[in-house]
Amino acid sequence: MKDREFAKGHLLMFIATVFFSFNFIMLKYMMPRWMDGFDATFFRIVGAMLLFWITSFFIRNSAIDKTDRLTIFFSGLLGLFPFMVFFNLALQYSSVIDVSIIMTTPPILVVLISILVDKTKISAMNAFGLFLSIAGAIFLILIGKKGAGTGRDMLGNLFAAISAVAYAYYLFSMRNCSNKYHPVSLLRWVFLAASIGAIPLGIVFLGKAPLLHHPNVDAILILLCIIVFPSFISFLLIPQSIKKIGHQLVSMYQNLIPVLATILAIIFKMDKLYWDQPVAIIIILLGVYISSMAVRKQTAK
């Protein structure tokens, strides 16, 4: 039974990862043709929030402790919301491959946040892995400006880095709540808090979205897929996967996203591979591997 649950956890996380990978392609197709990064943020957060609240009426919800309410509120408003908005803006201005590579850094950034906030002590090996991953991301951000006219933009890569930091903060702040509450009970409040930031964006920017002025069936269907699969179902699967296989194995799936996103981007002719991108991902993943080995050795001791 334990092996079955372990396998189920891997399957759920793989499905979530596939949805996240397709999310890059779908958003890139939609922006700026049918909407911009601000519109995408409104649709994703508010749409998923409504789905979580509708779903919550059909399950037995967990009561949120008073001590966790502020944590959940700030996780949504200062973590999930900036993660979404800067991620969407990054895809609007930069390439699928660049953004997907930079988004491998949140697990390593969680370690950095724990050092700064919890005063967690790390080994020299772990520190080197941390430095290597961040250096790889900085390398890609700086190189991006050389791809003028190719859809690779330094500003877009910088937005991706900010998004990665926000997502790392979200993962760090939710580390205890994720295991404590039912995913739907928890995420309905997280997305509601994020909506406090997303709704004003909708009020200001949504009226200019080409999709509203020139409705297109294909674009509407793709937008619905963006809301349902990567924005709702994937976020629902992650907490269940964490319970079955643990945080460390779940975070490793983040490294699979740039591989799948790159393959999809090339298949759909949305992007092409440049020499610096494989170099950057090797540097980042090497840093992640070194840090993982350091954590494993420390745990073993």
pLDDT by residue for the chain (301 residues), tens only, comes to 567 888 888 899 899 999 999 999 999 999 989 999 999 999 999 999 999 999 999 998 889 999 999 999 999 999 999 999 999 999 999 989 889 988 888 877 887 888 888 777 777 887 887 788 788 878 877 775 554 445 567 888 899 999 999 998 998 898 888 888 999 999 999 999 999 999 999 999 999 999 999 999 999 999 999 999 999 999 999 888 877 877 666 777 777 888 889 889 989 988 877 777 888 888 887 877 787 677 666 655 5
Cβ count within 10 A of residue 45: 29
Q: How much is the pLDDT for 53?
A: 97
| Calpha distance 190→178 (Å, rounded) | 11
C-beta of residue 277 within 8 angstroms of C-beta of residue 96: no
CB contact burial 195-211 (16+ within 10 A = b; e otherwise): bebbeebbeebbeebbb
Structure tokens at 3: 């092996």
Q: What DSSP line would sit under 82-126, residue for residue?
A: HHHHHHHHHHHHS-HHHHHHHTT-HHHHHHHHHHHHH-----HHH
Q: How much is the pLDDT for 148?
A: 44
Structure tokens at 96: 């699928």
Structure tokens at 74: 């700030």
Structure tokens at 216: 């297109």
| Calpha distance 37→85 (Å, rounded) | 7
Helices and strands (H, E) in the chain, number of each type: 16, 0
Question: Is pTM beyond 0.85 here?
Answer: yes
- The position carrying tokens 């430095």 is 131
| Calpha distance 296→100 (Å, rounded) | 26
| Calpha distance 10→241 (Å, rounded) | 7
| Calpha distance 139→150 (Å, rounded) | 18
Nearest 5°: the CA angle 6, 20, 157 is 130
What is the number of domains present in the chain?
Answer: 1
Instruction: Give the residue numbers spanning the domain of 56.
Output: 2-300
| Calpha distance 1→158 (Å, rounded) | 45
